[in-house]
Amino acid sequence: MSAKILYFDNNATTAVAPEVLEAMLPYLKGEYGNPSSMYRFAGASEKALKKARQQVAGLLGAAPEEILFTSCGTESDSTAIMSALRAQPEKKHFITTRVEHPAVLSLGQYLEKQGYAVSFLGVDGKGRISVDELTRAITKDTALVSMMYANNETGNIYPVAEVGAVCRERGIPFHVDAVQAVGKIPINLATLPVDYLALSGHKLHAPKGVGALYVRRGSPFRPFLRGGHQERGRRAGTEAVPNIVALGAACELAGRHIEVENTQVRVLRDDLQQRLLSGIPDAILNGDPENRLPNTMNISFKYVEGEAILLLLDQYGICASSGSACTSGSLEPSHVLRAMGVPFTYAHGSVRLSLCRYNTREEVNFVAEKLPEIIARLRAISPYRNLPDNAVP
């Protein structure tokens, strides 16, 4: 195995940007003051928090007071959803989709067990939701709508502005899991009708262990963590100053690179996608080719197992991800591909390649050369070759 890593799994996590590491280091070294302390030494931490809040708000077109820092995207999602529900205890209906990240999906399933009626909206073959269907699902009892901005597996971008307009018209709070969208596509909360928006540091070149939640001024809020008065009483616990500084720096950097994501990264992604789809027989693109993040591609290769592809890619140092999750020994295709109705013989052979601005032309060429060889090798030994498309394992 070559020592070099070719990292094509940026929707799982990202490398910390050198500029981000540089920005956070002083707060891991000398500047360790608690931002809540009175003395001048802690002033640097307090100022750093303030700057980071402005940087995150700046990327999103929000006001700094509308940003609160959390430990991760999952905490941001949970805080927003539980907040809106607790603020309206008389309403017992929650609307979300079948293609959410587990951070929202499993919370929805939990709420169902707690006595909530939960509508999990389906998607079409390309993974798209219907705004009409969502609108029809709304009842007098609906407390909250939660929809992702962009899907982590397919890269599909969802109609946030349209759904937000519907929710606003009916006075229903709207939460958006924007963990995959922030930094990849422009987001302007000054005009977008959204009440809560979740993001995560480690998906945009900040370290793991920090996230943020946007809460629109005036939207219902109930703290998830209670304790000290940090984050103006909305999220107790001493602030993770180094991580928060990193998130601020990453957001500012992302703002400066959004153009690159949509030119350089998109060009590399499209080139790789085109070469794989045209060079490998029985390969299909999963997701909406028109309305997708610029960095993500999800391709299914008929008759092969995604896990096997990943193992062989790994031998070349190529990091990618498969749509299936190995749960309790049985290989289940991902809930996203199942919701899209991708046939069994394809769904099992799905691979997600997600790029970032650090990927190079040479890396793309290498993957475009190796992946067809890998698929051919696996197909030669595939036990699925003679199964019909709609076979069930």
Ligand X SMILES: *Cc1c(COP(=O)(O)O)cnc(C)c1O
Closest CA to 200 of 7, 14, 9, 8: 14
Per CB under 6 A, does 194 bind ligand X? Answer: no
Per CB under 6 A, does 74 bind ligand X? Answer: yes
Number of residues that bind ligand X (CB under 6 A): 14
Token reading at 393: 């394992």
Q: Residue-wise over 339-350: b if at least 16 C-beta within 10 A, else e?
A: bbebbbbbbbbb
Nearer to ligand X, 80 or 378 (CB): 80
Report which residue's Cβ sits closest to ligand X: 73
Nearer to ligand X, 189 or 204 (CB): 204
* Cβ at position 208, least distance to ligand X in Å: 7
* Cβ at position 251, least distance to ligand X in Å: 14
Near ligand X by CB under 6 A, which window of 36-44, 71-79, 168-176, 182-190?
71-79
* Cβ at position 152, least distance to ligand X in Å: 4
Q: Give one DSSP letter per residue of 266-304, joined into a string.
A: HHHHHHHHHHHHHHSSSEEE-S-SSSB-TTEEEEEETTS
Nearer to ligand X, 108 or 211 (CB): 211
Q: Which residues are catalytic?
A: 326
Gap between the Cα atoms of 119 and 107, Å rounded: 13
Nearer to ligand X, 13 or 54 (CB): 13
* Cβ at position 389, least distance to ligand X in Å: 29
Inter-residue contact 210 to 201 (CB < 8 Å): yes
Inter-residue contact 102 to 125 (CB < 8 Å): no
Q: Among 53, 101, 216, 302, which residue sits at the site for ligand X (rule: CB under 6 A)?
A: 101
Strand order of the β-sheet with 283-285 is: 283-285, 296-301, 350-354, 321-322
Which residues are bridge partners to 332 per DSSP?
325
Per CB under 6 A, does 105 bind ligand X? Answer: no
Gap between the Cα atoms of 186 and 147, Å rounded: 17
Nearer to ligand X, 49 or 182 (CB): 182
Token reading at 168: 């606003």
Near ligand X by CB under 6 A, which window of 49-57, 89-97, 199-207, 237-245?
199-207
Per CB under 6 A, does 184 bind ligand X? Answer: no
- For the segment 223-262, give every residue that binds ligand X (CB under 6 A): none
In 79-185, beta strands by DSSP E:
93-97, 117-121, 142-148, 174-177
Inter-residue contact 326 to 310 (CB < 8 Å): no
Token reading at 84: 């809106």
- For the segment 330-359, give every residue that binds ligand X (CB under 6 A): none
Gap between the Cα atoms of 64 and 49, Å rounded: 11
Per CB under 6 A, does 320 bind ligand X? Answer: no
Q: Among 81, 179, 254, 272, which residue sits at the site for ligand X (rule: CB under 6 A)?
A: 179
Nearer to ligand X, 106 or 315 (CB): 106
Nearer to ligand X, 31 or 77 (CB): 77
- For the segment 128-157, give every residue that binds ligand X (CB under 6 A): 148, 152
Gap between the Cα atoms of 164 and 169, Å rounded: 9
* Cβ at position 184, least distance to ligand X in Å: 11
Per CB under 6 A, does 180 bind ligand X? Answer: yes
Per CB under 6 A, does 177 bind ligand X? Answer: yes
Q: Which residues bind ligand X (CB under 6 A)?
A: 72-74, 101, 103, 148, 152, 177, 179-180, 200, 202-203, 211
